[in-house]
Amino acid sequence: MPLIRDNRDLRIDFFRGVALWWIFTDHIPADWLGLFSIRNFALCDATEVFVLLAGYAGGIAYGGTMRAQGWLYAGADVVRRAWTLYIAHIFLFVIFAAQVGYSANALDRNDYLDEIHLDVVGGAPYRALLEALTLHFQPAYLNILPLYVTLLLMFAVALPLLRWPPVLAGLSLAMYLIARIFDINLPSWTGGGWFFNPFTWQLLFVMGAILSFAPGERPKRALPLDIAAVIVVLFGLVMQWVVWVHPGVLAHWPAYIVRMLMDVDKEGLHPFRLLSILALTWLTARLVPAHAAWLRTRLAAPFVLAGQHSLPVFCAGIFLAFLGRLATEQNSGAFMQIGVNVAGAVSLVTVAAVAAWYSNKGRGSRPAAPRQEAGP
């Protein structure tokens, strides 16, 4: 029984699998492979990749359902997916909090609790549980699933507007601008609002949904967009490798320009981050056709498999990344680095394979419908 379903856009699965690997390495501070993550070469990171692809997959899956069965059925599917992600988040919260709490106690490392914002649990454990259930308490590393839950609920309401892409895009952009200008965010128990502001990040999700549901025609003159995308990518490299490493180069620049270049926030999806992921998306779409043969090779298979079952792989990756951190903090030598990354890769692919087997069992030789899921 084949584990990989190939009757779908494998580009989504492959790049989502790559993003899952980046998330794993990025959460291990001493991991050398983290130096090759997208966050070191662009003004965006795996989060932008995930949200854009989630919207793209949502446009395919739920937009198709809306065309065939109407908004009510499609909206119900979106809400069901949001509920699945919510349950996964609560489960992950309990497991991860226990993992970090035990490690902090066993190793006498209370700084783990401070860094991951779990210190408040000791002072008000019952309140912390209640706030976690209502998504008002989001420790570090556990803020992406609440974002997806909220985006999906917003998407369920906005689904009918997919039929009028300019209207949906205009409303989404207006919400983004208002949220950024007036600093509108959902409240957080620990203060400061949600780490990922859903009122701004929804723009990227909506862009992905529109691109898949109503892609339109490719511009007849694509070269200007190619050049613009390359310029944006090069700008990101200069920012990463020059400006942020040697801020002294801006010593004689106007103060407002310096602030704009140095304060590229992730929480509110800064316009530079938005432009960066859009430029990379355009170049990828130009260079990687939907039926590229290499997407079906053995080298691509682990990433495709992980991308097709991203929710369990994501949850396992958060747990495994903290174990990898504990290991590399004890010894960050080459053998430990190799061991952590090989063990992590094998474990994540194994999780994906088990999820694929459970998903496919009982299906026999019947072809599965080409279904994409929004979110992890």
Q: Which amino acid is at 157?
A: V
Q: How far is CA 246 from the centre of its chain?
A: 29
Look at residue 5 in the predicted model and tell me its pLDDT: 86
Provide the CB-side half-sphere exposure for 74 (13 A, CA): 23
Q: Which amino acid is at 369?
A: A
Length of the chain measured in residues = 376
Q: According to DSSP H, which parts of 134-246 are helical? A: 144-158, 165-181, 198-213, 223-238
Domain ranges across the chain: 41-290
Look at residue 221 in the predicted model and tell me its pLDDT: 83
- For 186, counting Cβ atoms within 10 Å of its Cβ (0-12 exposed, 13-18 middle, 19+ buried), the class is middle
Look at residue 22 in the predicted model and tell me its pLDDT: 96
Look at residue 364 in the predicted model and tell me its pLDDT: 52
Q: What is the residue-wise DSSP string for 227-257?
A: HHHHHHHHHHHHIIIIITT-GGGGTTS-HHH
Q: pLDDT tens per residue, the chain (376 residues)? A: 578 888 888 999 999 999 999 999 999 999 999 999 999 999 999 999 999 999 999 999 999 999 999 999 999 999 999 999 999 999 999 999 999 999 999 999 999 999 999 999 988 999 999 999 999 999 999 999 999 999 999 999 999 999 999 999 999 999 999 999 999 999 999 888 999 999 999 999 999 999 999 887 777 788 999 999 999 999 999 999 999 999 999 988 999 899 999 999 999 999 999 999 999 999 999 999 988 999 999 999 999 999 999 999 999 999 999 999 999 999 999 999 999 999 999 999 999 999 999 988 755 555 455 556 666 7
Q: Are 266 and 47 in contact (CB under 8 A)?
A: yes
Alpha-carbon span 48 to 57, nearest angstrom: 14
Q: Which amino acid is at 347?
A: S
Closest to 23 (Cα-Cα) out of 335, 265, 310: 310
Q: Which amino acid is at 15?
A: F
Provide the CB-side half-sphere exposure for 352 (13 A, CA): 30
Tell me the CA distances in angstroms from 341 to 21, 305, 348, one per residue in order: 10, 18, 10
Alpha-carbon span 306 to 313, nearest angstrom: 6
Look at residue 297 in the predicted model and tell me its pLDDT: 95
Look at residue 375 in the predicted model and tell me its pLDDT: 62
